[in-house]
Amino acid sequence: MRHCGAMSGHHMDPEEFRAHGHALVDWIAGYLERVEDLPVRSRVAPGAVADRLPASPPEQGEPFADMLRDVDDIVVPGLTHWQSPSFFGYFPANSSGPSVLGELLSAGLGVQGMLWSTSPAATELEMRVLDWLRQLLDLPDRFGWDGAGGAVIADSASSANLCALLAARHRAGGADPSLVVYASEHTHSSVEKAVRIAGLAADQLRLVPADAEHAMRPDQLDRLVREDQAAGRRPCMVAATVGTTSSMAVDPVPVIGQLCSRTGIWLHVDAAMAGAAAVCPELRWIHEGLQRADSYCVDAHKWLFTNFDCTAFFVADRDALTGALSVQPEYLRNAASDAGEVVDYRDWQIPLGRRFRALKLWFVLRHYGAAGLRHHIREHVALAGELADRIRRDDRFELVSSVLNLVCFRHRAGDATSAAILEQLNASGAIFLTHTRLDGRYVLRLSVGQTRTERRHVELAWRLLSAAADAMVADNRER
């Protein structure tokens, strides 16, 4: 039964695993050392990677070295390098050494955490480490395990938003065409997706108008809720956003929470991108009013040095969530579950199976410590603030917004110029940023938060933006 070398098609034995594992660890360390020098945005054309891959799988096994060679030759040129210190697009996906090693350990152990009994440590470490995160972010006690609350690691804020909706719907008595969900017009697309998945009609979602800062207008929310109630509809959930994707706008949770408490509407707060900022006491204003929320989520895999996937999803009433998601087949019954003395995380999520994702968050929180996390988050916010100041003082650009680590701006010459600058910089490979539309206008977004981003990278970004703007204007003059 034992292996007979790399080409055998047999299992990789521990000796081989050690050798290949060391080689791959070294490869990753080398990648992270040189990623700064690679073009941030991939330059491959559609189909170019696929064309270099065989049309059919090999009949005989291949040596590991061949795969690593193809990673270099075929895969790396096809990557947009999210771990580059000059990646300023979308949102940070700031992984770290301890997180990558936690993921490796999870894969190596290969246990299932679907039930407490299928590996008790997977469940109990997750419960504990999420409570650590609750303390780090100074989240309300009601999300702790001592009362009726609790928390779970989800794969994404999209899934957490869906689960919040399912819990809210369950508390409201189940699926019903009279239910209505509310979110700001700047809410993340996952709320619309969740509404659709849950089988609500498009007109069961109300997009509440936002104010000049792109935050939900509570007076408009109040108006919509009253109109729906008057028409016999039943307001079910408000999804408030702390840090919108487009511009990091923060919905006024305190006022929204009062309205929800008064009317019995489930309040879900999506802080996927911004929530991590609350490790710093001076940034905890973003969570004002959170004590009225029924559920809350933050992505450790965005701005907390933990590789995707690791969304922390907190609920004040865990029974509402498990009531919505629990199904009890015989083949999953066991003494601990029957006794009701354990948490079975399968009832907290869409899938049944689950990896041991708590390991990576545990490693990250222990490696950095609270002090380390605060230090790095502060650095990112400071760097974004410095860039925003430069843009504010510059005649060519208009600063549209600057909140936490996200700077939104546009060229005063208009949308076409802004879009052309974006495309030119991304095509150069030197930096990468993305765009959105705010108030109908094309806006550049520059998000500071990669693990290896330092002041020099943000300064380079500014020089390149500045040069591109000058070149654009010169170019327009010549025409």
Determine, following the binding rule CB under 8 A, whether residue 445 of this chain makes contact with its own copies.
yes
Alpha carbon 472 to its chain centroid, in Å, reads 34
Binding residues among 381-420 for its own copies as defined by CB under 8 A: none
- Alpha-carbon distance 20 to 68, whole Å? 10
Give kind and range of the element (H or E) at residue 125. Answer: helix 120-136
Determine, following the binding rule CB under 8 A, whether residue 128 of this chain makes contact with its own copies.
yes
Binding residues among 328-347 for its own copies as defined by CB under 8 A: 328-333, 336, 341-342
Shortest reach from residue 259's CB to its own copies, in Å: 25
Site track 290-319 with its own copies (rule: CB under 8 A), x = hit? -----------x-----xxx----------
- Alpha-carbon distance 432 to 317, whole Å? 41
Rounded to 5 degrees, φ, ψ at 239 are -100, 100
> Looking at 196-204, 235-243, 387-395, 410-418, which segment touches its own copies (CB under 8 A)?
196-204
- Alpha-carbon distance 261 to 267, whole Å? 8
Among 38, 40, 88, 122, binds its own copies (CB under 8 A): 122
Closest CA to 421 of 456, 464, 389: 464
Among 142, 171, 188, 268, binds its own copies (CB under 8 A): 188
Determine, following the binding rule CB under 8 A, whether residue 15 of this chain makes contact with its own copies.
yes
Determine, following the binding rule CB under 8 A, whether residue 133 of this chain makes contact with its own copies.
yes
Shortest reach from residue 118's CB to its own copies, in Å: 6
- Alpha-carbon distance 297 to 153, whole Å? 10
Binding residues among 263-292 for its own copies as defined by CB under 8 A: none
CB nearer to its own copies: pick between 292 and 376: 376
CB nearer to its own copies: pick between 120 and 254: 120
- Alpha-carbon distance 331 to 27, whole Å? 43
Query: Within the chain, what is the greatest distance between any pair of CA atoms?
Result: 79
Shortest reach from residue 395's CB to its own copies, in Å: 27
- Alpha-carbon distance 276 to 288, whole Å? 14
Determine, following the binding rule CB under 8 A, whether residue 169 of this chain makes contact with its own copies.
yes
Determine, following the binding rule CB under 8 A, whether residue 175 of this chain makes contact with its own copies.
yes
CB nearer to its own copies: pick between 80 and 466: 80
Across the strands, what pairs with 267?
238
Site track 215-254 with its own copies (rule: CB under 8 A), x = hit? ------------------------------xx--------
> Looking at 161-169, 214-222, 229-237, 391-399, which segment touches its own copies (CB under 8 A)?
161-169
Shortest reach from residue 96's CB to its own copies, in Å: 6
Binding residues among 77-116 for its own copies as defined by CB under 8 A: 77-83, 90, 93, 95-101, 103-105, 107-112, 116
Binding residues among 459-478 for its own copies as defined by CB under 8 A: none
Q: Are 249 and 403 in contact (CB under 8 A)?
A: yes
Q: Dihedral, CA atoms, 167, 171, 177, 180, nearest 10 degrees?
A: -70
Among 5, 37, 50, 475, binds its own copies (CB under 8 A): 50
Determine, following the binding rule CB under 8 A, whether residue 192 of this chain makes contact with its own copies.
yes
Binding-residue total with its own copies (CB under 8 A): 157
CB nearer to its own copies: pick between 200 and 384: 200
DSSP one-letter string for 361-429: HHHHHHHHHHHHHHHHHHHHHHHHHHHHHHHHT-SSEEEEEEETTEEEEEETT-HHHHHHHHHHHHHHT
CB nearer to its own copies: pick between 200 and 387: 200
Closest CA to 358 of 310, 395, 393: 310
> Looking at 218-226, 234-242, 371-379, 471-479, which segment touches its own copies (CB under 8 A)?
371-379
**Helix, strand, or coil here: 147?**
coil
- Tell me the one-letter amino acid at 262: R
Rounded to 5 degrees, φ, ψ at 167 are -65, -45
